[in-house]
Structure 1
Amino acid sequence: MTSTSNKSQLAIIFFTVFLYLVGFGVVIPILPILSRNFGATALQTGLLLSVYSLMQFLFSPFWGRLSDRLGRRPILLFCLLGEGLSYIAFAMARSLEWLFVARILAGFFGASLSTASAYISDITPKHERSKGMALIGAAFGLGFVVGPALGGGLAVWGHSISAEPHFDTSFSAYWVAALCFANLLFGIKFLKESLTAKSESAEKKKRFSVMWHYLNVKTVGALMAVFLLASFAMSSMEATLILYMGEKFQWDIKQVSFGFAYIGVIIVFTQGFLVRRLLPKWGERKVLRLGLTLFALGLTTIAISNSIGMMAVAMTLLSLGNGLSNPSILGSVSLLTDSKEQGVTMGVTQSMASLGRIIGPAFGGFLYGAVAITAPFWASGALAFTGLAIVLYIYRFIPEHGRVA
């Protein structure tokens, strides 16, 4: 592909990932309302959120491996179709059981994020690989900002149209489905296949044996472990921050929503702009080291914050750190992996992040209730510092292709 063609393909992939995260974000303000109406307990509502990440954990390697065999384009298009259908199922759900079915389907098709990562690996040269991966992080952050606000706004709009039970939440879900289908049509017309050499061995490997294999690969496995720790720490913080801010600073959901939006904006700025400026100067090693240091400091600063100003510093540090470290990890894993196995490698890496998002909220909630309200943030900070220690241990083996001499 030419440079211009690559940019257009990156734009399509960016929008695809953005839609995945918008859909997830739209559901955040809607799901508690629907689940309560359907008689769910607090635990069941939490499980509705966790099951999405569970499906991503289980099926990211599946989609990545399949894309190594069949190509990236058909997998991405098929999963966009499935994603749209999952939101139609969500809109039509009138029982708790069907809500679970809809979220399971959304997680299953959303697991194809690994294929989007592999697509970027296919079309970016080595010296721009980590910057390409930063696009996925920027799409995550932007979706995290837009999704909850869009979901709440659409629900209010839907309620003004009709007061019929569940119309407002269904209205929001139908809009997300429409966005998925629009992106599908756009992709059919403009998305080109990026895979030039298909893997012959991918179909012979079992999912968990593939995961175990890559976790035991020198440097790659260590970086995947760091990605897991970072995801674990971030999701544990996210699950308890609302409770913490309400108890310590008397914030309500509106103020906390602005706080999460601020985190998203910083991550978007970091991965969409700052990473692309720092990588050519410093390379993956130094950017990753800086990112994990800021991330760990930000998490621990939450635990000692006694004012909103100090909390703002904490949120800024952890957002900058998360925005710097994630694309550096993804880019480094990609650079250390054979070009014919990008799909399955990205699948395993995203599975590590999903595993962190499955366990992290429950872990943070347990510490918050059973130990102390600051315990989740001390623990998350410790996890981030552990990730930093691993990076320092393997430091000389981390590539520096992003650095321009």
Structure 2
Amino acid sequence: MSFIMITVLIDMVAIGLIIPVLPPLVGTFTAGSQADQAFWFAAVSFAFGIANFFGSPVLGALSDRYGRRPVLLIGFSGLALSFFVTAMATALWMLIAVRLFSGAMQANAAVANAYVADITPPEDRAKRFGLLGAMFGMGFILGPVAGGLLGEINLHLPFFVAGTLALMNWLYGYFVLPESLPVERRQTINWARVNPISSLKALSQLKGVGGLVAVIGLSALAQFILHSTWVLYTHFKFGWGPKENGLSLFAVGITSVLVQGFLLGKLLKIFSAQRLAVLGLLSSSLCFALWGAASEGWMMYAVIFCNLLGFSAAAAIQSLFSNAADASAQGATMGAMASLNSLMAVAAPVVGGGLLTLVSELPKGHWLIGLPYYFCALLQLAAMLLALRHFTRERARKAVLAGGHAL
């Protein structure tokens, strides 16, 4: 577990470095209005998401066939190349092209989750996924704040640093990281099922959890709208720059590590994974509404630190899917979930960027600039209601089966 946690930490620090500076970098090529900047940043984000949507199921299936380690190494190579090319880009088409390449090559999060499933008994997976989530959070502590500070020096500098970290991770993976999937548990690739449509269909047919696919989709769409609009939203509403955005994402990382690394195990002793998922989605819905309504920058921090349950929902839902999947198909299952997330990542820049474009010319501090986050609040609320309905039906179904067996 320690090996994969270090791998994920380095990976997320590298990715986190570029978050505060990618939107301003896109802005250097537009030289137009804030609406132009929002549109082209959405286009760059769309390129990564659409490539990752098609690539994730394939890479997940490859990890079930050849092991997790080789596929992780492919992802690190793609990331390193994409960071260096982005740093040296001289035109928008270069940014879009390299994000397409990076999206197709990168399924690191899905493969890392499959790695954890390989080495963890089902009853401990929610807690272990939480530890892995804490490493994602730690990456968001170290990466964005460093990226914001480096971006104040030069917008291109964080990309060179991120590329160097990705290369370091490749070396760590090649020489240190052990393989988690034994040869006897590997399976041949069914190419008819590795396209994203088939993989999502298989995900929806997992016994006992298939009905949660829509919950994952709605919640992921809200999260990716947050990712794709945060930097521009805070700039439009509060006038924040790379440093302020880096510090705000530092706060997100701190809270994520606190919840997933330390509190999640205690929460799972109080609540079941199902109940924790419902409460987390409700907390996230309230959180998005408050972010949208915030009139001062400090309020964004207050909401982040109040959303403790919201950071636990993803690990709880992920453990339910992992436990429902066969041991030899963890890569395919996590790849399918990554593909669904990528589909939402494709839609998010279009939806979030479109909503933000509509309000981008309003004066700083106007309440309506929060329109993307009001929409996200509705998405999380809908996800919560669907999850509640699914768990209620599952309990009723199991009760009927138990009664039948008793007879």
Which range, TM-score by smaller chain? 0.7 to 0.9
For the pair 1:120 / 2:111, whether they are aligned, the reply is no
Match of 1:4 in 2: none
Q: Relative to structure 1, is the Cα distance of residues 273 and 54 closer, same or farther in structure 2, using a 3 angstrom cutoff?
A: farther
Q: CA deviation at 1:23?
A: 2.8
Q: CA deviation at 1:367?
A: 3.1
Letter of the aligned partner of 2:333 in structure 1? T
Taking the TM superposition and a 5 Å limit, the aligned residue runs for 1:146-295 are 146-155=142-151, 169=156, 171-196=157-182, 197-200=185-188, 202-207=190-195, 208-242=197-231, 245=234, 254-295=243-284
Match of 1:338 in 2: 326
Please say which of residues 57-66 and 209-218 is displaced more in the overlay.
209-218
Task: Name the TM-score, length of structure 1 as normaliser.
Answer: 0.83
Q: CA deviation at 1:253?
A: 5.3
Q: Relative to structure 1, is the Cα distance of residues 108 and 21 closer, same or farther in structure 2, using a 3 angstrom cutoff?
A: farther
Q: CA deviation at 1:246?
A: 5.3
Q: Relative to structure 1, is the Cα distance of residues 308 and 99 closer, same or farther in structure 2, using a 3 angstrom cutoff?
A: closer
- Deviations 1:331-369 (Å, cap 9, x if unpaired)? 111001111111011011112222222222332333345
Taking the TM superposition and a 5 Å limit, the aligned residue runs for 1:103-142 are 103-142=99-138
Letter of the aligned partner of 1:325 in structure 2? A
2:94, 2:354 → 1: CA distance? 28
Any gaps of 5 or more consecutive residues in structure 2? 360-367, 396-407
Conserved 8 A contact 2:45-2:349: no
2:315 aligned to which of 324, 327, 335: 327
For the pair 1:316 / 2:305, whether they are aligned, the reply is yes
Conserved 8 A contact 2:149-2:243: no
1:93, 1:232 → 2: CA distance? 29
Q: Relative to structure 1, is the Cα distance of residues 35 and 195 closer, same or farther in structure 2, using a 3 angstrom cutoff?
A: same
Please say which of residues 335-344 and 211-220 is displaced more in the overlay.
211-220
Q: Secondary structure at the match of 1:394?
A: helix
Q: Secondary structure at the match of 2:19?
A: helix
Match of 2:5 in 1: 14
Q: CA deviation at 1:128?
A: 1.0
1:148, 1:77 → 2: CA distance? 23
Conserved 8 A contact 2:20-2:242: no
Conserved 8 A contact 1:244-1:373: yes
Conserved 8 A contact 2:64-2:329: yes
Conserved 8 A contact 2:62-2:189: no
Taking the TM superposition and a 5 Å limit, the aligned residue runs for 1:368-387 are 368-370=356-358, 372-387=368-383
2:334, 2:147 → 1: CA distance? 29
- Deviations 1:58-81 (Å, cap 9, x if unpaired)? 211111111111111221123223
Q: Secondary structure at the match of 2:272?
A: helix
1:366 aligned to which of 333, 336, 354: 354
Task: Name the TM-score, length of structure 2 as normaliser.
Answer: 0.83
For the pair 1:79 / 2:75, whether they are aligned, the reply is yes
1:172, 1:226 → 2: CA distance? 35
1:58 aligned to which of 51, 54, 60: 54
1:283, 1:311 → 2: CA distance? 30
Q: CA RMSD in A?
A: 2.7
Letter of the aligned partner of 2:389 in structure 1? Y
Q: Relative to structure 1, is the Cα distance of residues 222 and 122 closer, same or farther in structure 2, using a 3 angstrom cutoff?
A: same
1:44, 1:304 → 2: CA distance? 26
1:243, 1:82 → 2: CA distance? 27
Please say which of residues 235-244 and 113-122 is displaced more in the overlay.
235-244
1:249, 1:31 → 2: CA distance? 19
Letter of the aligned partner of 1:18 in structure 2? L
Q: Relative to structure 1, is the Cα distance of residues 227 and 58 closer, same or farther in structure 2, using a 3 angstrom cutoff?
A: same
Letter of the aligned partner of 1:115 in structure 2? V
Letter of the aligned partner of 2:132 in structure 1? I
Conserved 8 A contact 2:20-2:246: no
1:36, 1:365 → 2: CA distance? 14
- Deviations 1:230-280 (Å, cap 9, x if unpaired)? 121123234445555556556555444433321221112111111122224
Letter of the aligned partner of 1:331 in structure 2? S
Conserved 8 A contact 1:137-1:268: yes
Q: Relative to structure 1, is the Cα distance of residues 302 and 37 closer, same or farther in structure 2, using a 3 angstrom cutoff?
A: closer
Conserved 8 A contact 1:297-1:317: no
2:139 aligned to which of 137, 143, 166: 143
Paired residue total = 378
Q: Relative to structure 1, is the Cα distance of residues 251 and 89 closer, same or farther in structure 2, using a 3 angstrom cutoff?
A: closer
Q: What percentage of residue pairs aligned between the two structures are identical?
A: 31
1:394, 1:44 → 2: CA distance? 38
2:328, 2:318 → 1: CA distance? 16
